[in-house]
Amino acid sequence: MRLSQMLFVTLREDPAEAEIPSHKLLVRAGYIRRVGSGVYVYLPFMWRVLQKVSQIVREEMNATGAQECLLTQLQPAELWQESGRWDTYTKAEGIMFALEDRQGRQLGLGPTHEEVITTVARDMIRSYRQLPLNLYQIQTKFRDEIRPRFGLMRGREFIMKDAYSFHVDEASLKETYHDMHDAYCNILRRSGLEFRAVDADSGAIGGSGSQEFMVLAEAGEDEVLYTDDGQYAANVEKALSLPPDAVPSQFTTFEKRETPNTPTIASLAKFLDCSPTQIVKNVLYQVTYDNGMDVLVLVNIRGDQDVNETKLFNELTQCAADYGGKAVIGLEVPDAEAQAKWATKQLPLGYIAPNLEDSYIQGSETLAPNFLRLIDKTAVDLENFITGSNESGYHVVGANWGREFEQPSRVVDVRTSMVGDRALHDPTQTLKSARGIEIGHIFQLGTKYSIAMNATYTSEQGEENPLYMGCYGVGVSRLAQAAVEQSYDKDGIIWPVAIAPYHAIVIIPNLSDVEQVRAAEAIYNELNAAGVETLLDDRNERAGVKFKDADLVGIPFRIVTGRSLKNGNVEVVKRAGHEAQEIGLTEVVAAVKGWVDEALQA
Ligand code: ATP
Ligand code: MG
């Protein structure tokens, strides 16, 4: 392609909307254009990158035996009502764009496709003989994200590859899950990305496995905890570890103490000159279930620990049936306004004790009259601990479970793992932290959707059983931008060869020099004929502008038909390290082709 004939506009200045390097660079180099919040046009260069990523994904999916299809973006509300997700997706999280057609029927724009694929499976899969089956698609997804940002990283319209597998049992599901894990590793490796597969939260479904594929980068929105021995890596939402040991309490008798202005753990520990590990912290939450029921939750946890809301969310989902619900649709720390709706009197905030009375709650048809009391494992074994007294300005010290306070019967693990914690698999290893960009997620769904939507098959023994399912997503557009986030320098993008929009660019420094033009045209044609995707910068611009643009756009190999021509050479520059060399006119095509082939083989 000749640059003179392309829609090619680069910007010298960073766009105001962009915060992270990859976003700035993709806009500046003319890859993407914003048309609205979280909505971007993929310009021709970007589209080539996305096609390449898609092709790698496609090859790796096909290699596992998965089959490509294309599901519908318009999805009838009834399907989502069957799975029980319509309200959560349109109201609670509000992530689904919902609309109404001319007949007044409700539809959503697909944020994901479990419902659609499960109906197809219900209609078409009859027998164990048709299993296992794995279908995938590469398609635009729509999500009304709360905070669209970082360009393609968190868009409201983005490209995803999603696959869904169906099985007779869990063993078959695990086999495919394992193959998909390997395929995902291949996709990321072939795309030239450094990544880590980490244990991920599998939500309230629990039990079954789930892993995320993280590209490590400062701009990542996720936190990954890992050990240096390579044996453990997990999203902080899911990570497990050993908390530090508690310091034995110096308060051996129970008493109430005046502790003015100590509503936080830090201020209390300072005032009493004690370790936060001796304190039982009592944290209040308000959970909303899908049947409209609200419940106030009191979590006891050791003072130096924090509640992990993902883990708490999962625990509360397990409790849903006790309140007539199925799913959690909201979880928050109730603010003053929320408290005003149910508190019968002023809560002793900052001084709450584990035995905070239920009489603080004005129960109603939609609000449980009792606290749901949960105790985190870290608080269970504490002796002679310090905690609130239910009276502002006072705490108690030397308290014990089973004596001054009844220990909640529901023991949970909702603590947040932290940097420095000892690892479970080897306590001599401590957890380290890194930022990660989630590129892919693979998930053993089990029978959640098939049971909800009644998707069954007939087994060899003639029994009607629910299908086992797995689902597997890769953010194609996010992956492409993550590659930039991982590989750039002060001059611009440095694309991995496998997903670069073009492999090479031939630059004519001086258009009025016929020698330069003739040599450049010849190399350009020969490279393309040899299968090296090559651009020709034949614009009527200064040489300096062309070099700057080539660096910004990030094409891996640059060939310049400049001064060295009189020695029968061209200058060749590798974008990654700006490493320049002169190569003979007759050898340059073979040399560049060799580098490209080598890179693509990796
Ligand atoms: P996140 O936690 O980042 O919102 P998710 O858990 O919602 O991701 P999935 O539903 O598992 O993501 O989707 C599969 C993949 O799609 C993700 O791993 C990610 O690469 C990509 N993806 C998800 N949301 C977006 C988005 N708003 N913009 C671009 N890519 C996205
Ligand atoms: Mg999301």
* pLDDT, position 329: 86
For ligand 1, the distance from its centroid to the CA atom of residue 111, given in whole angstroms, is 10
Tell me which amino acid residue 577 is: G
* pLDDT, position 205: 55
Mean pLDDT of 226-242: 93
Question: pLDDT per residue over 367-383, tens digit each?
Answer: 999 999 999 999 999 99
Q: Is the CB of 53 under 6 A from ligand 1?
A: no
For ligand 1, the distance from its centroid to the CA atom of residue 477, given in whole angstroms, is 10
* pLDDT, position 582: 98
* pLDDT, position 56: 98
* pLDDT, position 87: 87
Q: Model's pTM, two decimal places?
A: 0.90
Distance CA 543, CA 341 (A): 69
Residue 137: pLDDT over 70: yes
Q: Is the CB of 160 under 6 A from ligand 1?
A: yes
Q: Is the CB of 348 under 6 A from ligand 1?
A: no
Residue 182: pLDDT over 70: yes
CA dihedral 135, 141, 144, 147 (to 10 degrees): 100
Angle, CA of 552, 553 and 557, to the nearest 5°: 105
Distance CA 343, CA 108 (A): 38
For ligand 2, the distance from its centroid to the CA atom of residue 374, given in whole angstroms, is 28
* pLDDT, position 88: 84
Q: Is the CB of 439 under 6 A from ligand 1?
A: yes
* pLDDT, position 290: 87
* pLDDT, position 92: 75
Q: Is the CB of 562 under 6 A from ligand 1?
A: no
Q: Is the CB of 473 under 6 A from ligand 1?
A: yes
| Closest alpha carbon to 188 in 461, 456, 437, 510 | 437
- Per cent of the chain over pLDDT 70 is 99
Mean pLDDT of 233-254: 94
Q: Is the CB of 112 under 6 A from ligand 1?
A: yes
DSSP 368: -
Region of 151 on the Ramachandran plot (φ > 0 left; ψ -120 to 50 alpha; else beta): left
Q: Is the CB of 155 under 6 A from ligand 1?
A: yes
* pLDDT, position 208: 56
Q: Is the CB of 383 under 6 A from ligand 1?
A: no
Question: pLDDT per residue over 13-34, tens digit each?
Answer: 999 989 999 999 999 999 999 9
Task: From the CA of 145, give the closest atom in ligand 1.
Answer: 27
Q: How confident is the model at residue 204 (pLDDT cuts 50, 70, 90)?
A: low
- Per cent of the chain over pLDDT 90 is 95
Question: pLDDT per residue over 489-502, tens digit each?
Answer: 999 999 999 999 99
Q: How confident is the model at residue 327 (pLDDT cuts 50, 70, 90)?
A: confident
* pLDDT, position 243: 95
Distance CA 501, CA 24 (A): 18
Residue nearest to atom 1 of ligand 1 (CA): 438
Residue 536: pLDDT over 70: yes
Residue 333: pLDDT over 70: yes
Distance of CA 305 to the CA centre of its chain: 25
Mean pLDDT of 397-414: 97
Structure tokens at 566: 């009189």
Mean pLDDT of 109-119: 97
Q: Is the CB of 141 under 6 A from ligand 1?
A: no
Q: Which residues, 6+ apart, have CB-to-CB distance to 191 below 8 Å?
A: 53, 56, 479, 483, 496, 498, 499
Residue 428's alpha-carbon distances to 242, 378, 420, 424, 431, in angstroms, are 11, 20, 11, 9, 10
Residue 203: pLDDT over 80: no
> Of the ligands numbered here, which is closest to the C-alpha atom of 200?
1
Residue nearest to atom 29 of ligand 1 (CA): 154
Tell me which amino acid residue 567 is: N
